[in-house]
Every structure is written in C-alpha cells, then in structure tokens.
Amino acid sequence: MKFDSVIVRFGGEIGIKGRWTRRTYEKLLLKNIKKILKHHGISHEKIIRKSGRMYIKTKNAHETATELTRVFGVSSVSPAVETTAEMNEVVQKAVELAKKTLKSGSSFAVRCHRVGKHSYSSMDICKEAGKQILASLKNRNLKVDLKNPQFTVAVEVRDEYAYVYTETLHGVDGFPLGSQPKAICLLSGGIDSPVACWLAMKRGCPITPLYFDIAPFTDEAATVKALDVTKKLFEWSIGFPRKIYVVPHGKNLETFVNESPRKLTCILCKRMMYRIAERIAETEKAEGIITGEAIGEQASQTLHNLRVLNEAATKYPVHRPLLGFNKLETEKLAKKIGTFEISTRKTEGCSAAPRRPATKARLEIVKEAEEELDIEEMVEESVREARIVVV
C-alpha cells in the first residue's frame, strides 16, 4: 500500500487573517511550495488548494512531506492515501492502513475530520472503521484507547475526496516567506545572529545577510564560518536570492582602536555597522535591520548601550528578535535550524575588543569621539569596497 498524497496544513495565524489577506498568504505559500518541489526534483500530479489545506498528489509522499516541514507557513504535513468520500471506500482504506501499521498488543484510535456534505458523520467513520479494524486484525489483540493510543488511524474527508494517514510531521508555522518586506540581517557567524535571521524569516521576511570582515583582528576561518552559516540559513529560503554582502571592516576597527577611547571600541564599531547597514538597506530596498543582540548578552548590549547604538541608525529601524532570549533558548533554536554546529566551530575571537569595555557609554562622549573621525568617508569607503557573494 503506497502513500500517494500529502496533506499540508497552514499555520494557525494565516487562518485568522481577513479574507483577502488569507487568500494572498495561501497563494504565496502555494508558490513557495512549488519552488521547493522543483528544487528537489519532486514530481507531482496536482495540488488542490482548499481553505486551510493543500492536498498534493505525488508518488513521493514521504519525501515531499519531509521537505515541506521546512517551509514557513506550514504547520504540519501528513503522507496519506487518497480515496473517494464514499464511506465504504474510506473504511476499507483505513483497514488496509491499519494492517500495515498496527502492531500486536498495541492500542489505537480512529480520528476523523470532515468538511462538506455527506450522508454520514465523523463519528460514523470512527465507529465503523474501528469496528472493522478490530474484526480484521483480531489475531493481533488490539485495544481501543481514545485518550492515549499508541497508534492513530486518521481520516480527513474533504468534499468528494478522503485521505487516510497515520503520521503527522510538524512544520515551523509562521508566515509564508515573502509575505513581509525584505530585511538586512547583520550576520556574524556566531550562535545568535543566524537565529535572529531565521526568526525574521519565520515572520515572512526574506533576508539579505550582511557580514563585516574584521581581518586582521580575526582569522580567515571566521569569514568561512559566516558563509557556511549563510548557506545553512538559505536552505530555509529555497527560491529566494542566495547572496550575502561582505564588508571589509578591519580598517574601520583599526581607526577606532588607535584614535578613540579604548573602552568605546565596541560601541563605535557597532554604530558604524548600523550606518553601513542602512546604506545597504537603501540599495536592497529593505525595510529594516535585524541583529542578534539580546539584553545583557555582551557589554555593548546593555539596555543603556542599545539606546546609544540605536541613535546611529537614523533612517531604518533596528529589530532584535532575540532581545529577551537567554543563551540556552537561542542555542536550542540554533540546533533546530541546523546552524549550531557551524556557529560553534573554533575561530579566533576579535582581538580588538577592549579589556574593560564601556557598559554604560554616554552618548555625548561617543559622539565627541566620532567627531574626531571622518565617519562619513569611512562609511562611503566601506560601501564601495563591499562585495556580494553568492552562496
């Protein structure tokens, strides 16, 4: 018995949108799903779109289901067997699937979800299918357990078709990628920033990563790690541009180390990053800047210092998805995304970081330090020397 279909369930937030928005999101989700199928060379006969669902007819049901768990806007998927909505056909398929799935001595339940007009109720399906499964498999000593079954034979009846399945794979929910405007993401290659990028993507924002190469204050391995992290992130955005901006930032950092108060190095460095990110955002027609900063994670990320950093961004908002996360929460997500192992590869830390960085920098002192430098020319040179890498 082969699975020939996949049930795709939409994220819960899509379902509570207004009619026009919901229809727009569902169409975009369909477009993104087709991109995934094409990318992985998965053939399909048809895709039926219903309110809150898609039904994909394919000979590669398990492979399709697995790949679609990584599509933003999908809440869950199930490889299934398609049949007609005739009750006898549905029950027969349920029995056949039970024979393949249920083990001797195990407990099971039959669940049914039904939409449309039919001559029977959902409870009728559950009772009849359960009755015939027990009769057909009486030698396996099965038990019915409606509260905590070891196996569930599920039926979904939708108008003239029905789908029978036993497995549900969880997706990542969120909004379809592309349903929100693009964002520039400051990506360091560490644990935090890739997770922040992913969370923005989950809310529907395509991302353009921006990496600041601080050589000679770190090694080449840091850049390689950032590019590898970017590749892993882009596995979640099949069909969208796979480019990252790499900005040479070592010269700027050297200027801050040699010509400005040492305790302000990190603050001045990050403010410069924001200014450059705004210029890249203009080029990319983005609507905001994403960072991996969390309150108190580093000296430059105290709540006071974050306000000082924000002052440097005058045209675009800075969004911090991880603001209230602790490290363990961030690491858990990094493992789920697939970036953790890459982000934890050993590289040389930033040798420009001061021994005693300012944790409560005064904005007027920071601005005085910047007045001693040609900040605008530093920004211009950085943007001119930025290169786009396709990964």
Q: Report the pLDDT averaged over residues 77-99.
A: 97
- SS3 per residue for 242-284: CEEEEEECHHHHHHHHHHCCHHHHHHHHHHHHHHHHHHHHHHH
pLDDT tens digits for 90-115?
A: 999 999 999 999 999 999 999 999 99
Cα–Cα dist 245/389, whole Å: 6
pLDDT at 331 over 90: yes
pLDDT at 186 over 80: yes
Cα–Cα dist 184/198, whole Å: 12
79 pLDDT tier (thresholds 50, 70, 90): very high
pLDDT tens digits for 13-34?
A: 998 999 999 999 999 999 999 9
E-assigned strand segments in 41-99: 46-50, 53-57, 74-84
Do β-strands 143-144 and 74-84 pair in parallel, antiparallel, or remain unpaired?
Answer: unpaired
pLDDT tens digits for 242-280?
A: 999 999 999 999 999 999 999 999 999 999 999 999 999
pLDDT for 51: 85
Mean predicted lDDT score pLDDT of the chain: 96
pLDDT at 1 over 80: no
Residue 107: CB partners within 8 Å, gap ≥ 6? 142, 143, 144, 145, 148, 149, 150, 151
Percentage of residues in the chain having pLDDT higher than 90: 97
The two three-digit tokens of residue 7, written as one number: 């049930």
Strand partners, 7: 55, 78
Percentage of residues in the chain having pLDDT higher than 70: 100
Q: What 8-state DSSP symbol labels residue 140?
A: G
User: Which residue from 226, 232, 239 is spatially nearest to 186, judged by alpha carbons?
Assistant: 226
pLDDT tens digits for 332-373?
A: 999 999 999 999 999 998 999 999 999 999 999 999 999 999
pLDDT for 214: 96
pLDDT tens digits for 157-169?
A: 999 999 999 999 9
Q: Report the pLDDT averaged over residues 211-234.
A: 96
* Cis amide leading into 216 (omega within 30): yes
pLDDT for 145: 96
50 in helix, strand or coil? strand
Strand partners, 8: 54, 77
User: Mind listing the domains of the chain with CATH numbers?
Assistant: 5-170 (3.30.2130.30), 183-390 (3.40.50.620)
